[in-house]
Amino acid sequence: MEQELKSDADFRLLSILVPLLAIIAGVFMVVLDSTAMNVALSTLVKDFHTELNTLQWVVTGYMLAQASVIPLSGWLSDRFGAKTVFLTAVIVFTIGSILCATPSRAEWLIAFRVLQGLGGGCVLPVGMAYVYKLAPKSKVGVVMGIMGIPVLFAPAIGPVLSGWLVEYHSWRWIFLINIPIGIICLLIGSRKLPQSVRSQVPGMDKLGMILGPLAFASLSYGVSQGADSWTSDKTLIGLSVGMLALIAFVIAEFRSETPLLELRILRSIDFSTGILVQWIAQFGLYGALFLLPQFLQQARGFGAFDTGLTMLPQAIASGLMMPIAGILFDRIGVRWLVVCGLSLVSGALFQYSHVDLATQGKDLILPLFMCGAGMGMMVMPMNTHLLNKAPSHLVNRVTSLTNSMQQVINALAVSTLVTILTSRAAARAAEMQEAAAAAGKNAANASPDALKLAAHTVLVKGFDDTFHIMIFVALGGAVLGLLLRRGSRGGKDSSKTKVQPEIMHG
C-alpha cells in the first residue's frame, strides 16, 4: 500500500518516532565504536603479546574501511533502496562485532574490524539521508536534531563505557554490547522503516567506484600518519596516492554522465560556502574535542575512565541542545546557530587556554557545557542546511559527499593539532632551557622530580598555545557563518513539499 509523506500541518513527530529510533540505534553503535577501541589498545598489547604499532591498525583499519565505502553509499541507496542498504550495513556491522569479540590473534581482530568498518561506513550517511526524507521541510530541523544526539553523545560516552569494560570486565564486551543494539535496530527497522523505492540509476560509474574510495581512504590514511611525521614514507605515499586519485576522480566525475558523487553541486555558491564553513567549524571543534582529553591524560595523568567522566558535561549539553537547535533551525535558519555555536566554542577554547597543572575536573564544567552547547547548536543544523541546498533527488549523493570529506577533514584536524602541539611544546622547552641557562642552572644537576615537573610544565604550555591558536580558527568560522543564507522558508520550497520520489511505500 502506498504511503505518502504527511503535509506540514498533519505531521506529528510521534508518527516517525519508531523508525527514527531504529536509525538512531544503528548510528549510535557505529559512532560508539569509532572511539571505544582507543582506550583498549594498551590492554590488547598485553593480551595479544603484539607491538602497539601493529594493534594501531585495529583503529586505522576501521577508519580506512569506512572512508572507502562512504563514497559508494549514495549510489547504493539509489540503486538498491535506502532501507535495503541501511539494514544490510547494520547486519554486516553486527556480524563484524560478533567476530571481533572472538579472535586470539591480532591479525584476525584487524581483519574483523575492517569488516565492521565496511558496514559502519554506510550507516551514518544513509541514515542521515533517510531521516532527512522522513519529515516535511518545515520540521526537518527538529527531526535531524534528534538524530544528531547519538552523533555527538556516542563519542563522549565511548571512552567512559570502554574504560569501565576494559578495567572491570573484558575488552571483548566493547563488541558484544553491539549485538543487542544491532538486533533491536534490525527488528524495528525491518518492520517500521518505510520501504524506499529504487531510483532509476541509468548506469554505473565504474571508474569513479575505484578512484573515489582509493582517493578518500588514501588521503585519510596519509593525513592520519601526519600526526607522527609529515615527512615519513607512510605519510608521503598516502598523500601522494590520495591526491593523484582525487584529481583523477574529480576529472572522471565531471566527465561522467552518471557520476558516483555529484560534484557539480559544488558550483552552487550557497552549497560551497556551507561546505567551507563546515570544514572550518570541524577544525575548531576538534580543538576542543581532541585536545582537552589529551591534556587530561598526558599533562594531568587522568585515566581513560576518569577522562570520560570529566568530559560528560559536554555530551549532556550537546544532547540537550540538539533538539532545541533543530526547532530554532526551522524558525530562523542556520546562520545565527553557526555564529552563536562557534562563539560558544571560542569562549570554551579561551578558558581551556588557561589550564595548568592544578586544573581539576570541576574547573572545566562551565567551558565543557559551553563547548557542548556550541556543538549541539551547529553540527546537525549545518548538515541539514547543506541537504536543503541540494536538489531532493541528490540527497543520497550529498550525504556521501559531505561524509567522505568529513573523514578526511577529521583526520587532518587531528594530525595538524598534534603537529602544532608538538611544535609549541618544543618551543616552550627551548625557552625554558634558555631561561635556566641565563640563571646559571644546569639540567644535569636537577632532581628527577624537578625534571618531571619541568616536562609537564612545558607540555601544559604547549597545550595552552595550541588552544589559543584554535580560538582564532573557531572565530574565523563564526565570521564566515555570517555568509550563510537561509534560502526559501520551510513550506515554500517546492523540492521538499511534494512527496519525494525516493520515499516510500510500506
**pLDDT (0 to 100) of residue 92:** 94
**pLDDT (0 to 100) of residue 99:** 94
- CA 494 to chain centroid, in Å, comes to 31
For the beta carbon of residue 360, count every other beta carbon within 10 angstroms.
9
Q: What are the residues facing 195 on neighbouring strands?
A: 505
Q: What is the mean pLDDT of residues 131-150?
A: 78
Taking the C-alpha atoms of residue 453 and residue 457, their distance in angstroms, rounded to an integer, is 6
Q: Which residues contact 48 (CB under 8 A, 6 or more apart)?
A: 55, 104, 105, 106, 109
Choose the CATH number for 13-204+258-497 among 1.20.120.350, 3.40.1670.10, 3.20.20.70, 1.20.1250.20.
1.20.1250.20
**pLDDT (0 to 100) of residue 503:** 41
Contact 148, 24 (CB under 8 A): no
Residue 23 has pLDDT above 60, yes or no: yes
- Residue 503's Cβ-side half-sphere holds a number of Cα atoms within 13 Å equal to 21
Taking the C-alpha atoms of residue 248 and residue 210, their distance in angstroms, rounded to an integer, is 11
**pLDDT (0 to 100) of residue 202:** 58
* This prediction's pTM: 0.77
Contact 417, 458 (CB under 8 A): no
Contact 35, 158 (CB under 8 A): yes
Q: So where are the chain's domains? A: 13-204+258-497, 205-257
Q: What is the mean pLDDT of residues 420-441?
A: 77
Q: Which residues contact 478 (CB under 8 A, 6 or more apart)?
A: 338, 339, 342, 343, 346
Contact 147, 24 (CB under 8 A): yes
The residue written with cell numbers 510500506 in the block is 506
Whose CA is closest to 127, among 257, 19, 42, 35?
19
Cα torsion angle, 239, 240, 245, 246, sign: positive
**pLDDT (0 to 100) of residue 195:** 72
Q: Which residues contact 356 (CB under 8 A, 6 or more apart)?
A: 460
Task: Give the pLDDT band (50/70/90) at residue 268.
Answer: confident
Taking the C-alpha atoms of residue 324 and residue 11, their distance in angstroms, rounded to an integer, is 18
Residue 231 has pLDDT above 60, yes or no: yes
Task: Give the pLDDT band (50/70/90) at residue 502.
Answer: very low
Identify the three-state secondary structure at position 505: strand
Max avg pLDDT among 58-67, 160-169, 250-259, 344-353: 344-353
Taking the C-alpha atoms of residue 244 and residue 44, their distance in angstroms, rounded to an integer, is 36
Who has greater pLDDT, 387 or 102? 102
Whose CA is closest to 332, among 343, 344, 320, 341?
341
Angle (nearest 5°) at CA 355 between 353 and 357? 150
Whose CA is closest to 150, among 173, 172, 176, 120?
120
- State the cell numbers at 296: 587530561
Cα torsion angle, 467, 67, 210, 128, sign: negative
Residue 144 has pLDDT above 50, yes or no: yes
Max avg pLDDT among 24-33, 141-150, 301-310, 346-355: 346-355
- State the cell numbers at 283: 577544525
Taking the C-alpha atoms of residue 278 and residue 283, their distance in angstroms, rounded to an integer, is 9
- State the cell numbers at 86: 541501511
**pLDDT (0 to 100) of residue 442:** 63
**pLDDT (0 to 100) of residue 104:** 81
Query: Residue ranges of the alpha helices (H) in 296-394?
Result: 304-332, 335-352, 365-388
**pLDDT (0 to 100) of residue 495:** 42
Q: What is the mean pLDDT of residues 235-256?
A: 87
Lowest mean pLDDT among 90-99, 215-224, 460-469: 215-224
Q: What is the mean pLDDT of residues 132-160?
A: 77
Going by the DSSP 8-state scheme, the letter that residue 198 receives in this structure is P
Q: What is the mean pLDDT of residues 155-169?
A: 78
Arithmetic mean of pLDDT over the chain: 80
Going by the DSSP 8-state scheme, the letter that residue 8 receives in this structure is T
